[in-house]
Amino acid sequence: MATHGKKYRESAKAVDLTKVYPLSEAVALLKKSGYTKFDGSVEIAVKTFADAKYNDQMMRGTTILPHGTGKSKRIAVFTSDEAEAKKAWADIAGTETLLNDIKAGKFNFDVLLTTPDHIRDLAPVAKQLGPKGLMPSPKAGTVVVNIPQAVEEFKKGKMEFKLDKTGNINAAVGKLSFTETQIEENIRAFLKALEDNKPAGVKGKLIKKVFIAPTMWPGIQIEA
């Protein structure tokens, strides 16, 4: 059984585990909760009625939060038009050098973008990229025609969400340093994005339970 430190246990006393909090009340509690010395992330865990065993209930999509995630992302672009990508403020761009770095296990990026005409060229490193969630795909918004627009969107905080094997979706939706309004708006936007991407195979409600929590703090259940 996992054990927690004294600060965690004391912070946990502020949360009523039997209560489902209105979002505004839960966010106010979050803002008072952080005991870490760094600016922790605001994390959300959504339990859905979707069953990942069925293809028509799988969920994967992207959204741009109104206030971003608070985390800057290093963007790499696999493209022969290196100049265009660099002009769009990509951190890394190229083909052969980037491919060799990936083969060598050098992943100096958080997001890898490419165009439809180059996706096949990444096949030799698919086994390295796949386990890290970095293999470009249309559903993840990382195989695109307009590279400058894609770079801009990911720099602004575009994020991917995906249903795991247990029917849950987990994501970071901001930082504790955000205002209460910013956190609330990000959470509402994230939940709306899930509803907008509800799989056809899920009948009735999509969302079962929602919990939010700052880094290293117990989850607070909010009204779904």
Mean pLDDT of 166-187: 95
As a whole-number percent, the residues of the chain with pLDDT over 70 amount to 92
- The two beta strands, 207-214 and 220-222, are antiparallel
Whether 112 and 128 have beta carbons less than 8 Å apart is answered as no
Average pLDDT over residues 116-130: 95
Rounded Cα gap, residues 75 and 91, in angstroms: 5
Q: How high is the mean pLDDT of the chain? A: 90
- CA 72, distance to chain mean position in Å, is 12
Query: Domain 75-155, CATH 1.20.1050.10 — does that match?
Result: no
Q: So what's the pLDDT on residue 57?
A: 96
Q: What percent of the chain has pLDDT over 90?
A: 71
Q: CA–CA separation, 14 vs 165, rounded Å?
A: 31
**Burial call 110-140: b when 16+ CB within 10 Å, e when fewer:** bbbbbbeebbeebeebeebeeeeebbbeeeb
Report the 10 Å Cβ neighbour count for 142: 23
Q: Is the pLDDT of residue 122 over 80?
A: yes
Q: Which of 224, 30, 44, 58 is nearest to 139 (CA)?
A: 58
Q: Residue 61 pairs with which residues in a beta bridge? A: 161
Tell the CATH topology of 6-69+159-222: Ribulose 1,5 Bisphosphate Carboxylase/Oxygenase (3.30.190)
Distance CA 224, CA 204 (A): 14
Q: How do residues 18-54 score in pLDDT, each as one tens digit? A: 899 999 999 999 887 655 567 889 999 999 999 999 9
Return the domain boundaries, the chain: 6-69+159-222, 75-155
Distance of alpha carbon 130 from alpha carbon 136, whole angstroms:
9
Residue 147: Cβ-neighbour burial (10 angstroms; 0-12, 13-18, 19+): buried
pTM of the model: 0.80
Identify the band that residue 1 occupies on the pLDDT scale cut at 50, 70 and 90: very low
As a whole number of angstroms, the distance between CA 146 and CA 151 comes to 9
